[in-house]
Amino acid sequence: MPSDPSPVLNPLQPTGLPAAGSPTVAKGSEFDATKARKQSTLILRRFFRHRLAVAALVVFLLICAFGFLGPLFWTVSVEDTRSRGYLPPSGAHPLGTIQTGKDMLAQLIVGTRLSVQIALVVALGSTLVGVVLGALAGYLRGAVDSVISRFTDLMLIIPQIAVAAILVRALSGSWYTVAFILAAFAWMTIARITRGETLSLAQREFIEAARAAGAKTRWIIFRHLVPNMVGTITVNTTLAVATAVLSEAALSFIGLGVQSPDTSLGLIINENYSQITNRPWLFWGPFVIIVLLSLAVNFIGDGLRDAFDPRQTKVRA
Amino acid sequence: MIRYIIRRLLISIPILLIGSIAAFFLVAAAGNPIGELRAKPGVTAQQIRDLEISLGLDQPIIVRYWKWLVDFLQGDWGQSIALGQAKVDIFDSVMRALWITARLVVGAELLAIVLGVSVGVLAAVKQYSIFDYLATSTAFLMFSMPIVCVAVILKTYGIKFNNLLESMGLDRWLSTVSPAAGGFKGSFGEQVFQYTGTYLLPTLSLTLISFAAYSRFQRASMLETLNSDYVRTARAKGISQRRVIFRHAFRNALIPVSTLFSINAAALFSGAIITETVFGWKGMGNLLVQSIRTFDPYMLMGWLMVTASLVVVFNLVADIMYGFLDPRIRLA
């Protein structure tokens, strides 16, 4: 897969410059040719100029295609245990078989799909909860703020992976249970960030004007506050995807995450890591997919951050 | 300062108390040690009932919580009630596990901070140099690595390295299993050999992951301060480059990093869970996994309370660090 080996930064590329009014437009007739561009168009244009981020997006889409469209091309059933265990790679089993005789490639396809699904559910779910709670706390202040903030503090002092593992053991190891449990313990960061942004935004005149015009809290939060924080929220959601991929892998690795009959990249690593010396392909397959997945998502997040806030380029780590 | 610390510790008591209630109900709702016995054939209802009474599980949850809390505050953390295992004292086992994990984690974290901060500062000062590119891309790669894989790869190559040493007629150096009980023996040289062999690989796998986060953070915040007006003013006044970097920029650039440190404190234990599993250490991670497997409620409570208190302490340490780094942040 085309993993871009070039360094992380690409300073010579003018991603940081505001892309408005490109010179070709301004040349002809100065007044009527300058088309007004929507904010979203501008951001998208900036994002697509960021070559590394676009490459990462392609890698991410390829991994998704592998997981979601793979079964169309590789029709060996993941449940098929008729083959012998630990067969070396061959035409019938391009990545060999695992201990139980299941085909590794079929396992990888399902594992990739479920890992991606878990990561997306965790990222979207935790963002939704975090943004709503954070915005409520920051906008309403007072008692609501105290309750939500103390609750956030409370959730932050208990190690996420421990509580998640306890709940998974109690409930079940299906992919959506794991996803919901991880999401339930991942919203605190975004809630804090949203609260901070809301606190400062709520002081601005346009919010005051909206309130004076009689707008309800829900309207102000979703129509005025959230659109103004969309950059921060998007970037954090993207980064949450990467974190979720790694959390799921960690949880499944200690055997307290996704469990059979479902599978995931973490579980595949758990089942096969002892074979790293004798049958390396069983370990490196899921490993490469996990690393590419989280690398790609992190790069996309970085690209988005630059696209939303051009000033960020010079301080990007 | 001391008043501030005392006040902060007092504030954290209700949070820990509410946390303990939430944790107790969570652990109780998750299941109990005899849950799986019910499904077994040949176990009569009477036997289960007797067992419940002997373990105190027949009482209402509020009563159990209150009893646990009173005992806990008096230093009696109870005994493990997992089935099929010796009834060990919870305080002893949690503290033993904590000691094993702490020796590993504290060293690894300190190493990660020192390395990460220095690499981050260097990368920012020499922005866009080869060193910067190398450091930034390594950090980015490590940041996206599952710690599982780092540990497994290190362990595999550790074993290969040992085999190589053995084939050269030397002793096996790197230990890939739990440290031997009874400490290290022999002359000073031998002890150093054993110590480094035991700690090197697990420390490395923890350090590499934390290092990535620290160096990324440090580089970003260092660049921000280096480009700020007061640093330009300092340069314009003719202050030497070294003094500008260390006295003016570095100190302020450390502030965001100390936030990361407090967040990392909790995450460190989850990283240690994986590392301990791979290298077979009998620390906090191992204790957690075992207790969850057997639904050992009081052991889990002891574990959760210890880690939660540690997080509270680390947050306090980070806040005190802010005060030292930036005198404008008054701790009162």
Do residue A160 and residue B270 have CB atoms under 8 angstroms apart? Answer: yes
pLDDT of amino acid B267: 67
Give the C-alpha separation, B316 to B150, whole Å: 31
Do residue B289 and residue A317 have CB atoms under 8 angstroms apart? Answer: no
**B119 with B215: CB under 8 angstroms?**
yes
Average confidence (pLDDT) over A135-162: 88
Do residue A254 and residue B273 have CB atoms under 8 angstroms apart? Answer: yes
Q: For A169-178, A190-199, B134-143, B263-272, which range has the lowest pLDDT when averaged over its residues?
A: B263-272
Binning pLDDT at 50, 70 and 90, where does residue B143 land?
Answer: confident
Q: Which two tokens stand for residue A256?
A: 């307290």
pLDDT of amino acid B85: 66
Of B133, B144, B223, the CB nearest to A294: B144
Of A158, A290, A315, the CB nearest to B224: A315
| pLDDT value at A55 more than 60 | yes
Distance from CA of A169 to the nearest CA of B (A): 7
**Cα distances (Å, whole numbers) of residue B196 to B275, B282, B283:** 17, 18, 18
Do residue B292 and residue A165 have CB atoms under 8 angstroms apart? Answer: yes
Q: Which residues of chain A are within 8 Å of residue B132 when distances are taken between CB atoms? A: 9
Of A154, A159, A277, the CB nearest to B15: A154
Question: How many Cα atoms occupy the beta-carbon half-sphere of A106 within 13 Å?
Answer: 17
Distance from CA of B126 to the nearest CA of A (A): 13
pLDDT of amino acid A126: 94
Do residue B152 and residue A283 have CB atoms under 8 angstroms apart? Answer: yes
Identify which of A139, B105, B210, B241 has the alpha carbon closest to the alpha carbon of residue B232: B241
| pLDDT value at A243 more than 80 | yes
Average confidence (pLDDT) over A148-157: 86
pTM here is 0.82
Q: Which two tokens stand for residue A67?
A: 């997981």
Binning pLDDT at 50, 70 and 90, where does residue A129 land?
Answer: very high
| pLDDT value at A4 more than 50 | no
Do residue A166 and residue B292 have CB atoms under 8 angstroms apart? Answer: yes
pLDDT of amino acid A80: 75
Condensed to tens digits (0 to 9), the pLDDT of residues B82-123 reads: 766 667 888 888 888 888 888 888 888 889 999 999 999 999
Q: Which two tokens stand for residue A273?
A: 């890591």
Of A169, A269, A277, the CB nearest to B148: A269
Q: Which amino acid is residue B76, in one-letter code?
A: D
pLDDT of amino acid A26: 45
Condensed to tens digits (0 to 9), the pLDDT of residues A88-120 reads: 787 777 877 877 778 888 889 999 999 999 999
**Cα distances (Å, whole numbers) of residue A57 to A24, A43, B326:** 28, 15, 40
Do residue A166 and residue B266 have CB atoms under 8 angstroms apart? Answer: no
Neighbours of B288 (CB within 10 A): 28
Condensed to tens digits (0 to 9), the pLDDT of residues B274-314 reads: 888 888 888 888 888 888 888 888 888 888 888 888 888 88
pLDDT of amino acid A8: 43
Q: What is the mean pLDDT of chain B?
A: 82
pLDDT of amino acid A54: 92
pLDDT of amino acid A22: 45
Do residue A290 and residue B31 have CB atoms under 8 angstroms apart? Answer: no
**A39 with A49: CB under 8 angstroms?**
no
Q: What is the mean pLDDT of chain A?
A: 82
Residue A285, phi then psi, degrees to nearest 5: -60, -65
Identify which of B297, B298, B267 has the alpha carbon closest to the alpha carbon of residue B285: B267
Condensed to tens digits (0 to 9), the pLDDT of residues B181-226 reads: 556 667 777 777 777 777 888 888 888 888 888 898 888 888 888 8
Alpha helix ranges (H) inside A85-186: 104-140, 142-157, 160-170, 175-184
Nearest CA in chain B to A245: B146
Do residue A8 and residue B159 have CB atoms under 8 angstroms apart? Answer: no
**Percentage of chain B surpassing pLDDT 70?**
90
Average confidence (pLDDT) over B134-155: 87
Q: Which amino acid is residue B292, in one-letter code?
A: I
Assess B22–A contact: CB distance below 8 Å, yes or no.
yes
**Cα distances (Å, whole numbers) of residue A38 to A7, A28, A288, B167, B301:** 32, 21, 39, 68, 54
- Chains A, B: CB contacts within 8 A come to 148
Average confidence (pLDDT) over B242-264: 83
Question: How many Cα atoms occupy the beta-carbon half-sphere of A202 within 13 Å?
Answer: 18
Handedness of CA B215, B218, B222, B224 (dihedral sign): positive
**A122 with A244: CB under 8 angstroms?**
yes
Assess B11–A contact: CB distance below 8 Å, yes or no.
no
Q: For A131-135, A212-216, B77-81, B161-165, which range has the lowest pLDDT when averaged over its residues?
A: B77-81
Give the C-alpha separation, B174 to B155, whole Å: 9
Handedness of CA A142, A147, A150, A152 (dihedral sign): negative
Assess B216–A contact: CB distance below 8 Å, yes or no.
yes
Of B133, B270, B292, the CB nearest to A7: B133
**What SS3 state is found at A97?**
strand
Q: Which amino acid is residue B277, in one-letter code?
A: T
Condensed to tens digits (0 to 9), the pLDDT of residues A218-236 reads: 999 999 998 888 888 888 8
Of A250, A273, A283, the CB nearest to B270: A250
Average confidence (pLDDT) over A21-35: 51
Do residue A161 and residue B31 have CB atoms under 8 angstroms apart? Answer: no
| pLDDT value at A162 more than 50 | yes
Do residue B15 and residue A157 have CB atoms under 8 angstroms apart? Answer: yes
Average confidence (pLDDT) over B256-265: 78
pLDDT of amino acid A144: 92
ipTM above 0.95, yes or no: no
